[in-house]
Amino acid sequence: MATGVLFALSGCAAEQECTLIGTSVGISVRVDAPLADRVSATELTACWNGSCRTAKVELHPAGGVARQTCEGEACTAEVEPTGGKQGFGDVAGLPKAPVRVELRLKGQGGEVVVERELTVTPEGSFPNGPNCGEGGPQAAIAVSGSGVVSDGG
The span from the CA of 80 to the CA of 58, in Å, is 20
pTM over 0.85: no
Encode pLDDT of 76-132 as tens digits.
Answer: 988 899 999 999 999 999 999 999 999 999 999 999 999 999 999 999 988 888 888
Cβ contact 56:66 at 8 Å: no
DSSP the chain: -HHHHHHHHHGGGGPPP--------EEEEEE-TTGGGG--EEEEEEEETTEEEEEEE--EEEEEEEEEEEETTEEEEEEEEEEEEEEEEE-TT--SS-EEEEEEEE-TTS-EEEEEEEEE--EE--TT-GGG----EEEEEEE-TT--EEE--
Encode pLDDT of 12-66 as tens digits.
Answer: 445 668 887 778 999 999 999 999 999 999 999 999 999 999 999 999 999 988 8
